[in-house]
Structure 1
Amino acid sequence: MAGPRTRGRPVEIDSARLSRIAVELFAERGYDEVSAAEVAATAGVSRRSLFRYFPSKADLVWHGFREGLEMLSVALLDSGDLPPADAVAAAMIAMVERTPALELTRTRLRILAEHRELMSIGLGRLDEQVAICAAYLRNRGVDDLTSQAQAAAITAAAFTGYLYWATSTTDPAPLGSVRRALEAVGEL
């Protein structure tokens, strides 16, 4: 636990560290068994500081998703002359290849898979990914319905591949599972 606070510059808080500590506690003791106050105490910050960075306990598990969206956006810009849907799938693969902290990512995904309420909270985040992909497809001349359907299918396939990797394989990285899931959608 943190020592007494002195006057002066506030302590700088590393949100990635807070999230990592929380995920490790959730994996060790169970998501439902660990309170936000326990996460804060273990991290050496106040509960108030924790909630300033993470408005809900679920946000601790979903941390890093925003960076993934940024990686996806960059990958879409770099997709070249591939057909539109293939470009989105290739951008997903590029994002997967840059997955940071693989074991921590696997642990996060396992926690999500075990707690459906966490998955439902995250659907809004996945909707952001669908919106980015659909906008890209529309900008490439794909009609609105097709762009929405393709973006949703590709996003769902990639996320399913990630979950499969985390819960059903011992593969060191998610690339193979995500690639297989995307290929399955491509065969429809």
Structure 2
Amino acid sequence: MTARPPGRPREVDITRVARSAVDLFTERGYESVSMDDVASAAGISRRSLFNHFATKAELLWSGHEFYVDRLRRHLMRPSGQGAALTDVLTSGFVRALDDLGEDGLALARARLRVVSAHPDTAAVGQVVVAACRAVVLDHLRTRVRGELTCRCIAGGVAAAAYEALMWWAAGDAPDPERDISSGIAALTLRE
């Protein structure tokens, strides 16, 4: 067995740390879990934890970059000629969630349930909503005329997808496709 060189930090698996945190929040309650508890459960030092996450809320929202990247990829793919805008956007959000896999989707549901119970954590989540909005806006600019129209639709779609996911997380439906579809369709988008 080779020893690590002195002073060299070991690599931290951010996803594993976040999963440990969400498990603790679910089991013991968000308020009763400290950052020290999370570090201990994840098997890392407090310092390593704070090098990656400044707050518990950041732990809840970590890893969103993968989802946003997948959303971007799905919306960049050419859709069928004449495909309705609501169908294209719904498909992008749903397919990006599918890319999380079964475990990732279960983790997303657990995270959103904690967020729902602690609305103060939602402020950090607005970064995710803003990132999704930017991706949708880029897509809309290729299909819809008028910058103001694109911005308004993008804001509405990102907010509707977030609310639909919160609704799904609170329920027991196995996947969020129906809720996302209903949420985006409620905006009655037009091209």
**TM-score scaled by length of structure 2:** 0.86
Name stretches of at least 5 consecutive residues in structure 2 with no aligned partner.
none
* 1:79-118 equivalent positions in 2, closer than 5 A: 79-80=78-79, 81=81, 82=83, 84=85, 86-100=87-101, 101=103, 102-118=105-121
Number of matched pairs:
182
Question: 1 or 2 for the larger relative contact order (CA 8 Å, sep ≥6)?
Answer: 2
SS in 2 for 1:11: coil
Q: Which residue of 2 aligns with 1:3?
A: none
Deviations 1:85-127 (CA, angstroms, capped at 9, x unpaired): 6533331232233343222211101001111111122112211
Q: Which residue of 1 aligns with 2:43?
A: 44
Partners of 2:94 and 2:53 lie apart in 1 by: 28
Correspondent of 1:180 among 172, 179, 182? 182
SS in 1 for 2:141: helix
Shifted more, 171-180 versus 66-75: the winner is 171-180
Structure 1 position 175, deviation (Å): 1.5
Name stretches of at least 5 consecutive residues in structure 1 with no aligned partner.
1-5
Correspondent of 2:150 among 147, 159, 166? 147
Correspondent of 1:129 among 128, 132, 140? 132
Q: Which residue of 1 aligns with 2:34?
A: 35
Q: Which residue of 1 aligns with 2:159?
A: 156
Structure 1 position 84, deviation (Å): 5.0
CA contact (8 A) 1:89 1:154 kept: no
